[in-house]
Amino acid sequence: MRLRFRFRTIPFLATLVLVALGIALGNWQVRRAAEKTALQARLTQRSAMPPLALDGKPVDPAAIEYRHVIVTGEFVPNWPLFLDNRPHEGRTGFVLLMPFKIAGSDAVVLIARGWLSRDPAVHDRVPHVATPPGRTTVEGRAVLHPARVMELGKAPPPAPGAIVQNVDPAGFAQASGLRVLPVLVEQTSPDGTELIRTWPAPAIDVDRHKGYAFQWYALAAMAFLFFVITGFRSGTKQAG
């Protein structure tokens, strides 16, 4: 019995779509794995660098992201912000953000001071947290912005004492009128308060992206093989 291949247009077009989709998504996952590998290398490199002192001069945010930084100055007490929907170990709560005026400069930097729990009885009540008075020194890790959460619609500009979903240095600068450095500092140094400062590390899972890439490439290969095998089967049946 001689095998014959029967070309069918509609199955061919469907196979073409699946193969193209599988290859495109596989390539995307490979790029994501490369990005995460580069991020891991950057984290390792910058965590080993000596602390960087922020003195109010302009900084390149991409160049100092994830670096250990030190800044001296005073908190601006009338501009606290409370980042909402920030759970910690199964409890709901906020991350407290406050601007910090850098000594010898007119610039401020946003400090993520730490996590605090929410009052379960009153949803929109914000807790009182003592602010260190006078000049103080804060140590922490520089990031571009706090971890973002899903937000529906366009949020109003932040206001002093507001509960907000997301905020970044540029948006805060526009709302406050202050000159804000384009980075945020996740505080790690103690200050006598009960704020929790367990900051999540950037999500790095290179193997997961490689696994997804393999699955998409496998889908493309299976679609092609299915088209070829069923084409020969159809040809055989037709010949018989």
Q: Count structural domains, the chain.
A: 2
CA angle 65, 148, 122 (to 5 degrees): 130
Is-contact 79 96, C-beta < 8 A? no
Q: Is residue 195 domain-resident?
A: no
**In angstroms, rounded to a whole number, what is the distance separating the alpha carbons of residues 138 and 188?**
8
Co-location of 99 and 178 in the same domain: yes
Residue 168 has pLDDT above 90, yes or no: no
Co-location of 113 and 174 in the same domain: yes
Co-location of 76 and 155 in the same domain: yes
Q: How many CB atoms lie within 10 A of CB 108?
A: 26
pLDDT of residue 153: 63
**In angstroms, rounded to a whole number, what is the distance separating the alpha carbons of residues 21 and 36?**
23
Long-range pairs of 164-170 with CB within 8 A, sequence gap ≥ 24: 164/81, 164/82, 164/83, 164/84, 165/83, 165/84, 165/85, 166/83, 167/81, 167/83, 167/97, 167/110, 168/144, 169/109, 169/110, 169/145
Co-location of 154 and 222 in the same domain: no
Co-location of 180 and 210 in the same domain: no
pLDDT of residue 152: 66
Number of H helices, E strands in the chain: 4, 8
pLDDT per position as a tens digit, 62-109 = 889 899 999 999 999 889 999 998 888 888 889 999 999 999 999 999
Q: Is residue 50 domain-resident?
A: no
Structural domain span for residue 77: 67-187
Co-location of 26 and 126 in the same domain: no
Residue 237 has pLDDT above 60, yes or no: no
Co-location of 134 and 175 in the same domain: yes
Co-location of 74 and 171 in the same domain: yes
Co-location of 33 and 109 in the same domain: no
pLDDT per position as a tens digit, 134-167 = 899 999 999 988 877 776 667 677 888 888 888 8
Higher pLDDT, 124 or 238: 124
pLDDT of residue 233: 64
Q: List the one residue out of 69, 46, 108, 103 whose CA is nearest residue 189.
A: 69
Co-location of 166 and 113 in the same domain: yes
**In angstroms, rounded to a whole number, what is the distance separating the alpha carbons of residues 157 and 164?**
9
Q: How far apart are the first and last CA of the chain?
A: 8
Identify the band that residue 45 occupies on the pLDDT scale cut at 50, 70 and 90: confident
Q: Is residue 98 domain-resident?
A: yes
**In angstroms, rounded to a whole number, what is the distance separating the alpha carbons of residues 219 and 23?**
9
Residue 202 has pLDDT above 70, yes or no: yes
